[in-house]
Structure 1
Amino acid sequence: MINHLQSEINCKNFGILLCIHTGIRIGELCALKWSDINVQTKLLKIDKTMIRTYTKEDGSHLSITPPKSRSSTRMIPLNTWIMHYAILLQGDTDNYVLTNRDKPIEPNKYRLYYNRILKELELPHRKFHALRHTFATRCIECGCDYKSLSELLGHSNVSITMNIYVHPQMELKRKCVELLCDYYK
């Protein structure tokens, strides 16, 4: 999927790559404007999310609100690889990242776009949120400490990160138990 997204780079494909490299939620991604990406400091500011609410009186309403918790407001460092695409695609500061226009795409419509890519590439269906899980797991595999990962994901404590988002592969588990060989020799 990453190869496909890179080979056909556009704002929507960049959004998926950005999630793979930052672990942001789909609502946070849909609310992002180019002004939230600081090219000089290579930082991504997360301070809003997009949600659709339903009421009997008003029906459906799309809104941009503060993130789901205080700890979800955060700054995420961006790596050089993802910054390359941000600089390449960057539009007007008031434009939304995914559309490069002053009108956003809502999470449900963007999720449909993501699902179409999976189908087109004949990849197994995975929920969009799986990108967040994958980010967390890969960070742990690369040696990221739990506290830093917890803050990158916008969690209020490390146990949320560990219990919900980190799925070590069998190889890592095997490596852990093999370490005991040297200890007991």
Structure 2
Amino acid sequence: MLALTWQDIDFKNEMLFIRHTQSIIKKDQKNILTLTEPKSKSSKRIIPLSPFLLQFLKKMKEKSSSIYIISTKRNQMVSIRNYQRLFQNLLCHCHLPLYSFHSLRHTFATRAIEWGMDVKTLSEILGHANASMTLNRYVHSVFVHKRKQMNQMTKSLI
């Protein structure tokens, strides 16, 4: 997410291209942020964007002078460490439990399955090589959802 540039969004065709990832390289005792190729073939992907999200991104782009969708005040790439710190501070400020920013990916996967997204589609959106990776590592069963599924099954049998 932090490696996304405005060139990665095709507003006309409503698509997001995942073409690179953020990496940290050491140079002269300093950490330098850079864009690199994704780690696997499945990590490079195209994600369809909803009209709501497109409108939001268009408004963001109008106010941005950076090549990055998420950037520092100096229009530089934001490091994952700084973004995580910002996220933790936001959670604290809102008196919410502390989670990692990455946990939102797990929440997205779980909710997508609960709302009826098929596993293959979700797996491709997340950039996983196969659906079992998505199910085993990212999708967490929720008891309320189990009850709803059992009730639906019972209704179909009656």
TM-score tier, shorter chain, comes to 0.7 to 0.9
For 2:142, the aligned partner's letter is Q
Alignment of 1:120-135 (within 5 A): 120-135=93-108
Alignment of 1:1-185 (within 5 A): 29-53=1-25, 58=29, 60-91=31-62, 95-99=67-71, 102-179=75-152, 181=154
Q: Is the 8 A contact 1:51 1:107 kept in 2?
A: no
- Partners of 1:84 and 1:183 in 2: how far apart? 40
Q: Which residue of 2 aligns with 1:21?
A: none
SS of 1:98 mapped into structure 2? coil
Q: Is the 8 A contact 2:66 2:76 kept in 1?
A: no
For 1:71, the aligned partner's letter is S
TM-score, length-normalised on structure 1? 0.75
Q: How far did residue 90 of structure 1 move? A: 0.8
- Partners of 2:30 and 2:66 in 1: how far apart? 28
Q: Is the 8 A contact 1:155 1:161 kept in 2?
A: yes
Aligned residues: 156
Counterparts in 2 of 1:127 and 1:94: CA distance versus 1, 3 Å? closer
- Partners of 2:154 and 2:69 in 1: how far apart? 50
- Name structure 2 gaps, 5 residues minimum: none
Q: How far did residue 175 of structure 1 move? A: 2.6
Q: Is the 8 A contact 1:52 1:61 kept in 2?
A: yes
Q: How far did residue 60 of structure 1 move? A: 3.2
TM-score, length-normalised on structure 2? 0.87
- Give aligned-pair identity as a percent: 36
- Partners of 1:176 and 1:122 in 2: how far apart? 33
- Name structure 1 gaps, 5 residues minimum: 1-28
- Partners of 2:119 and 2:71 in 1: how far apart? 33
Q: Is the 8 A contact 1:53 1:61 kept in 2?
A: yes
Counterparts in 2 of 1:58 and 1:170: CA distance versus 1, 3 Å? same
Q: Is the 8 A contact 1:34 1:93 kept in 2?
A: no
